[in-house]
Amino acid sequence: MNIIFSTPQNISFTNRTSPKKYQNLSGVENLPCAICGNRMYTKKELEYILDSFTPSIASVFKDKEFESYKDTNAYSLLKELAKKHPKTPIKNAVKDEDFTIKFQFLPEYTQQVITEIVAKASKNKIIAANVIKKIEKLKPAFGEEEVDIFNALKKYAEKYPDKSFSEIFSLSEVYQTHLENIRSYKSSRFPKVNEIMENIRTLGKQLPVEEQDELSIIENEVVRPLIDRIFFNPYLRNKNKEILTDIYTGEQLYRENYAYRTLTKKINILSQYEDLRKHSSNPKVMAKICELAKELPFETRLVDFFILDAAKNHKSDRDIIWDLLSRVVNSYDHIIPRSKDGSNDLSNGLRVHKYCNEERDVIPYSIFSMYKVGLNENIQKQISKIASLITNEKLLNSDEYPTSVRETLLEASDGRIIIDTDSFVKNYQNMIAKKAKGINESKERLFAIVEHYRKINNSISEKIEDLTKEIEELKENKKTNKKLIKNAHKCLEVLMHEEIKLEKKI
Ligand SMILES: [Zn+2]
């Protein structure tokens, strides 16, 4: 059992069996992320965690909120169910087999009330401090920006110990602080960006005019849009509708698609300057410019968006928790992006955290691998784990994956990402050979069994033949005997006749 929490009192794991065989990569537990190397969680595991925040069915009946249902039939039926599954969350308890059968035959009104109680009890208030206590264990899987969000939430949970996150986020003191952060986003970065751009322009004067033009294109089309603007800001989404061009795909990019994670912005910007350095007539000056660009304020404080988004959309506590949990879910990353005609095939994918997926965005692996520390090792770590699952027959339907994804990565990274699959191929061949041997042995055993029964069958046939002959003989004997008896009768008759004649003569 790979569940991360030691006290999952409200969760029942009875349907989890081991050792297990995985049908596909999205269900593999404990798989390391191909991008950051930290463990990922399956959707199912995260749902278990989310369910653990739902009160048990027994505690629902202690809650005064449900007293108004006391006289209903629905209430007494659920109360009875609570005796059977006291610690299970109500929404899982009603899946009890007997109960679902019973449910179908209940009057419509009773069904409605049951559904109402279940819905109400599942939308319970979840104390922020309790959430923090459990989610803290996920921290090793979080990215830097998720840790930031987590730390901010933790501070709020400590400050308001009896409140839930949805309550905290709608407090005007909290809401206003984050709104102010977003509003001052541009003004707080503007002087720094201007200063760096000014210095770049000054240095650029040593470059030929065409290269100076290129510098200003980078500034206006890449740096300003990525640094100055507020991304994913629900308050501004409908105002400015400027359209940008994606520097990699050439496609038009709308506000909602802009990179918003720190590393994504950093790579998008730095790789443009780096590109210019490579073909510049004065690489020394360009190297200085590249150094300057590294000082740009790339960071977006995601926590402001996290909190404002939850408050504005009136998210429930469950939704807020899920927003955080789902960032570490095992997701499919297109190695060659769909926008570049990458397929949805297994061989075009790596398994990565949802937040790592967002971070890489559509940056080609050839460029991403230059900026993401440890990328090659992390991809290797994931593929090796998958390979060992395949050769131990614990992962089905993915035999071709390690070697085919190796090819995709080579192509997508211009040969920068080289995955070693030699030992996988060797182990795989051994496994196949072993299997073939096993099949041959079974075949031989089967032949021996068939031969054995064939022999038995033959001897039975022989015996049947003998017995048939004997019966035939007996039948023949019977016929002969009948004839003899008949003749004897005749003789007897003749003799008796003769006797009568003699008597008369006398
Ligand atoms: Zn990751």
Distance 371 CA to ligand 1 centre (A): 15
pLDDT at 503 (0 to 100): 75
List alpha helices for 314-421, DSSP H. Answer: 317-325, 354-360, 365-371, 375-391, 401-412
| pLDDT over threshold 50, residue 118 | yes
| pLDDT over threshold 50, residue 234 | no
pLDDT tens by residue, 141-194:
999 999 999 999 999 999 999 999 999 999 999 999 998 888 888 788 889 999
pLDDT at 54 (0 to 100): 82
Distance 351 CA to ligand 1 centre (A): 9
Distance 226 CA to ligand 1 centre (A): 23
Residues 217 and 211: their CA atoms lie apart, in Å, by: 10
424: left (phi over 0), alpha (psi -120 to 50) or beta: alpha
Residue with tokens 């006291």: 86
pLDDT at 221 (0 to 100): 83
pLDDT at 232 (0 to 100): 45
pLDDT at 6 (0 to 100): 39
- Structure token digits, residue 118: 């279940």
Distance 329 CA to ligand 1 centre (A): 9
Q: What are the residue ranges spanned by the domains of the chain? A: 57-122, 182-304
pLDDT tens by residue, 120-147:
887 788 999 999 999 999 999 999 999 9
Distance 356 CA to ligand 1 centre (A): 5
Residues 354 and 298: their CA atoms lie apart, in Å, by: 20
Count of CA atoms in the C-beta half-sphere (13 A) of 122: 16
Q: Kind of pairing, strands 252-253 and 330-334? A: unpaired
Distance 231 CA to ligand 1 centre (A): 22
Distance 12 CA to ligand 1 centre (A): 29
Number of H helices, E strands in the chain: 21, 4
pLDDT at 473 (0 to 100): 93
Distance 40 CA to ligand 1 centre (A): 7
pLDDT tens by residue, 19-44:
689 999 999 999 999 999 999 999 99
Q: Any idea what DSSP says for residue 346? A: G
Distance 181 CA to ligand 1 centre (A): 27
pLDDT tens by residue, 431-477:
999 989 988 999 999 999 999 999 999 999 999 999 999 999 999 99
Sign of CA pseudo-dihedral 111, 112, 115, 117: negative
Please give the mean pLDDT across all residues of the chain.
87
- Structure token digits, residue 195: 């200063």
Cβ neighbours of 389 (radius 10 Å):
18
The answer to whether the CB of 249 falls within 8 A of the CB of 336 is no
Distance 358 CA to ligand 1 centre (A): 10
Question: Largest Cα–Cα distance of the chain, in whole Å?
Answer: 172
Question: pLDDT higher for 164 or 305?
Answer: 164
Distance 316 CA to ligand 1 centre (A): 27
Name, of 14-18, 207-211, 221-225, the range with top average pLDDT: 207-211
Amino acid at 166: S
Distance 11 CA to ligand 1 centre (A): 27
Distance 334 CA to ligand 1 centre (A): 14
